[in-house]
Structure 1
Amino acid sequence: MICKRVFFLLILSWAYCANAQPVNKQIKKLVDTYAALGKFNGSILVAAQGKILLNKGYGYKDINQKTRNDPQTIYQIASLTKAFTATLILKLAESNRLALTNKVSQFYADFPKGDSITIDQLLSHTSGLSDNGANTKTKTYSGSEEAKFLAALKDRAFDFSPGTDWKYSNAGYILLGYIIEQVCGQSYYDAVRTYLFSPLQLDHSGFDFIGLTSPDKATGYWEFPESDTAQAATLIDYSAPRAAGAIYSTTGDLYQWHQGLQTGKLLSLSLLNRAYTPVKNNYGYGWIIDSVARVRVVGHSGDIWGFKSELARVPADDICIVMLNNIEDVDLHIITCKILAILYQQAYQWPARTRIQLSPKLLKEYVGEYLLRPGEWIKVSREGNRLKSTTTRKQELYAQKKDYFLLNDGHEQLEVVFNRNSSGVVTDLSFTLGERKVVCPKKD
């Protein structure tokens, strides 16, 4: 009853009214703005109750060839693969070919702590298996890829005892892929094609992105490709991320994936509900769980060299948001949050935009390094007529007037002020977080 009432309110929000655009135009205007700012370069599909609200490509698929992204463009989706792997495991559990309580030792007798690690823990990132292979870098391993992977895992320390904590583990999902191979008697890739791709006719999805020759294949870039000198990212072969991140796909195929899950074509809705239930740290089985307007949102993001991806779904209201980008230096999740805010008539902040153009001479005065905290610096650089700040990622500072800029950190706009001494020399930058003012001195 609650879900029906929420969706009734959602339908009302789509209607035309005197002072607001329909939601499809609001969503398009929002994404158009992010694309114009160089913060979106890819394809997006937004749908609700079977109605497509936006299905469009933005920016360059290959800037050298001057080809542009469209709804048919194919991207690496990285860790969105985990939802496919988890669904296949649950499908095998539903048919009693394995159980979520099975121990890893039932598949690999001599696996470290194999009697303590369960399938359930691998799915929910609570197994303690570490992605940190620093202590194996000097070693080489023989045998099949499976044998090499298992040997490397045996040399790694656990991040914690199985079931006692949570830490994101690609290794755990790669191990699930090998367990799938044992149960199905075929490669992980063939099993996904057989049980997931084929029933839903996901004809534009696969694994070997490097070997893909389709004209729809996107070139991945580190940053927004502004000219044909943009550096293409190095591609990672699918054999490295395997069941943790090997799939490539399109927005259309991922929407069909959503529809297949919605209708129970792949799994019973009761088992899906279990996958959508947090085990720890808002993570279920291959899905990150959040909420909007008191309704559950399930999704995942993906990040691999040159590509970013985001899938968000509201199962109760049949909402699906798919964003695939062939640049890595973007924050897609904040766009998802703002689209959901539009759909549910909630407040959201418009992305910061340049309103004035400062002279290159003035911009040069801000260039330098500013101390954020001991050992951590904010690097401010000038790129053409733009000012950029770099910490863990590079973002643009949008000039509002001399010495005053806006930075959209993905969740809120920060007002950044460059302060000067009595001689007019820039000495520091400052911004406010909550009620705390942060002052970052400039390195001499």
Structure 2
Amino acid sequence: MISKRVFFLLVMSWAFGAHAQPVKQQIKKLVDTYADLGKFNGSILVAAQGKILLNRGYGYKDIKHKTRNDPQTIYQIASLTKSFTATLILKLVELNRLSLTDKVSQFYPNFPKGDSISIAQLLSHTSGLSDNDSINKTKTYQGSDEAQFLAALKDRALDFSPGTDWKYSNAGYILLGYISEHVSGMSYYDAVRTYLFSPLQLDHSGFDFIGLASLDKATGYWEFPESDTAQAATLIDYSAPRAAGAIYSTIGDLYKWHQGLQTDKLLSPPLLNRAYTPVKSNYGYGWIIDSVAKAKVVWHSGDIWGFKSELARIPADDICIIMLNNIEAVDLHIITRKILAILYHQAYQQPARTRIQLSPGLLKEYVGSYQLRPGEWIKVSLEGNRLKATTSRKQEMYAQKKDHFLLDDGREHLGIFFNRNSSGLVTDLSFTVGERKVVCPKKE
């Protein structure tokens, strides 16, 4: 008897074989649209069951020199590095150099509460180790020197008792990098090259992006580069994020990375399954865990000045989506979700567009802060001729008519309405979630 999973794979295989062209066309049309809107500027690779469905670059690699992005363009991948660091740690576990239950105190005897923080907790962001405010704001770390980094950590209180909660911690992954040096006998960078890069021939990946001399190297921008006066983002040296975000790579190398994980070339299946199993807040060991059509999605994103990245994989169906962008003001996960919808024949929407262009004077009337709930605000700002809404992330608002805009969250378009008083002044914005209308008063 054919199992349900095998039957599903057979159906998927038939779909990609018999209807590959429509799927490829839908994915290309989707990404083309995002690129045309200035919401994608980089390289993308989409593959399913070993077949490449899309592999190309969009927009400018360097607008001043008018060079274009292509599949060979090299980008900083930022926190995608965490999947590499986690795999390195698990490889050292497999080699019996380390145990997931080992405590930080075994490597740093005087570390505060080090006997309560395990390797597994560092991997899953459940250690309680804090990234202080200055780190979060600048995305820089005093991590180029181990002693200095440890001193900074010791001066910082834990956010919670280890294992009791979840909070994303770059510091925890930097610490994992240092621990890997103690047990491997080599630098973190050499260990990654030895155990991960070399076996998979990731020849276009490395760490020192600033020092990289290559015509394929991308220039990072804050926003979509519309002219040669676009400001390049300040580059962050790899010694700052270290094991939390130091790697640069290409979509081709990251596809080899996916293939290496698929074939168990790097790790045994039991350890990979541990990595793909959520601990808290849908985070495993270096991967965020989600699902689509009852299939497990493992993914991670990256964000560093001038660059955004995302890698999403469905190991059971051998599906891989890789996006590397040399602009920071994009939301790649929206595109990931829509590509997955195409691959699994689910409903999705093309990105919202500006149907009309409102006058600058009218757009300025919407600018301000709107209270979402006590202590939380939606900040509406005007950048050029584009209206942006910022909560935990910034999104463009697409004008449909006066006082009516759309936001695109990846699954559906959310209608935003600005309301006015009898004098014509904007007093609040409102939107509907399900059957509930949410009204957000404008700060006076």
> Helix, strand or coil: the match of 2:149?
helix
Aligned Cα root-mean-square deviation (Å): 2.4
Q: CA deviation at 1:369?
A: 1.3
Whether the 8 Å CA contact 1:399–1:406 is kept in 2: the answer is: yes
Q: CA deviation at 1:5?
A: 2.0
Aligned pair in 2 of structure 1 residues 158, 442: CA closer, same or farther (>3 Å)? Answer: closer
Whether the 8 Å CA contact 2:366–2:426 is kept in 1: the answer is: no
> Helix, strand or coil: the match of 1:236?
coil
Q: CA deviation at 1:427?
A: 4.3
Q: CA deviation at 1:53?
A: 0.3
Q: CA deviation at 1:143?
A: 12
Alignment of 1:61-80 (within 5 A): 61-80=61-80
Q: CA deviation at 1:13?
A: 3.1
1:366 corresponds to which letter in structure 2?
Answer: E
CA distance in 2, matches of 1:39, 1:143: 33
Whether the 8 Å CA contact 2:47–2:54 is kept in 1: the answer is: yes
CA distance in 2, matches of 1:74, 1:53: 21
Who is 1:371 aligned against?
Answer: 370
Aligned pair in 2 of structure 1 residues 382, 215: CA closer, same or farther (>3 Å)? Answer: closer
Residues 277-308 of structure 1, C-alpha deviations (whole Å, 9 max, x = no match): 11122111111111111111111111111111
Whether the 8 Å CA contact 1:16–1:22 is kept in 2: the answer is: no
Aligned pair in 2 of structure 1 residues 122, 393: CA closer, same or farther (>3 Å)? Answer: closer
TM-score under structure 1 length normalisation:
0.92
Q: CA deviation at 1:332?
A: 0.7
CA distance in 1, matches of 2:398, 2:80: 32
> Helix, strand or coil: the match of 1:334?
helix
Who is 1:213 aligned against?
Answer: 213
> Helix, strand or coil: the match of 2:213?
coil
Q: CA deviation at 1:27?
A: 0.6
> Helix, strand or coil: the match of 1:176?
helix
Whether the 8 Å CA contact 1:366–1:418 is kept in 2: the answer is: no
Whether the 8 Å CA contact 1:276–1:284 is kept in 2: the answer is: yes
> Helix, strand or coil: the match of 2:438?
strand
1:246 corresponds to which letter in structure 2?
Answer: A
- Tell me how many residue pairs correspond in the alignment: 436
CA distance in 2, matches of 1:413, 1:305: 28
Who is 2:81 aligned against?
Answer: 81
Q: CA deviation at 1:86?
A: 0.9
1:341 corresponds to which letter in structure 2?
Answer: A
Who is 2:129 aligned against?
Answer: 129
Q: CA deviation at 1:206?
A: 0.3
Aligned pair in 2 of structure 1 residues 16, 261: CA closer, same or farther (>3 Å)? Answer: closer
Q: CA deviation at 1:410?
A: 4.1
Q: Percent identity?
A: 78
Aligned pair in 2 of structure 1 residues 360, 168: CA closer, same or farther (>3 Å)? Answer: closer
Who is 1:331 aligned against?
Answer: 331
1:83 corresponds to which letter in structure 2?
Answer: S
Q: CA deviation at 1:372?
A: 2.7
Residues 26-81 of structure 1, C-alpha deviations (whole Å, 9 max, x = no match): 11111111111111111100001111000011111111111111101111111111
Q: CA deviation at 1:218?
A: 0.9
Aligned pair in 2 of structure 1 residues 390, 230: CA closer, same or farther (>3 Å)? Answer: farther
Who is 1:381 aligned against?
Answer: 382
1:33 corresponds to which letter in structure 2?
Answer: T
Residues 399-432 of structure 1, C-alpha deviations (whole Å, 9 max, x = no match): 2233322221344311122334455554443322
Residues 362-409 of structure 1, C-alpha deviations (whole Å, 9 max, x = no match): x4463421423456343242624x443444444322222333222213
1:4 corresponds to which letter in structure 2?
Answer: V
Gaps of 5+ in 1: none
CA distance in 2, matches of 1:329, 1:41: 10
Aligned pair in 2 of structure 1 residues 162, 396: CA closer, same or farther (>3 Å)? Answer: closer
1:56 corresponds to which letter in structure 2?
Answer: R
Residues 342-363 of structure 1, C-alpha deviations (whole Å, 9 max, x = no match): 11111122211122334445x4
CA distance in 2, matches of 1:8, 1:391: 43
Whether the 8 Å CA contact 1:364–1:382 is kept in 2: the answer is: no
TM-score under structure 2 length normalisation:
0.92
Gaps of 5+ in 2: none
Who is 2:249 aligned against?
Answer: 249
Aligned pair in 2 of structure 1 residues 370, 133: CA closer, same or farther (>3 Å)? Answer: closer
| 2:204 maps to 1:171 | no
Q: CA deviation at 1:14?
A: 2.9
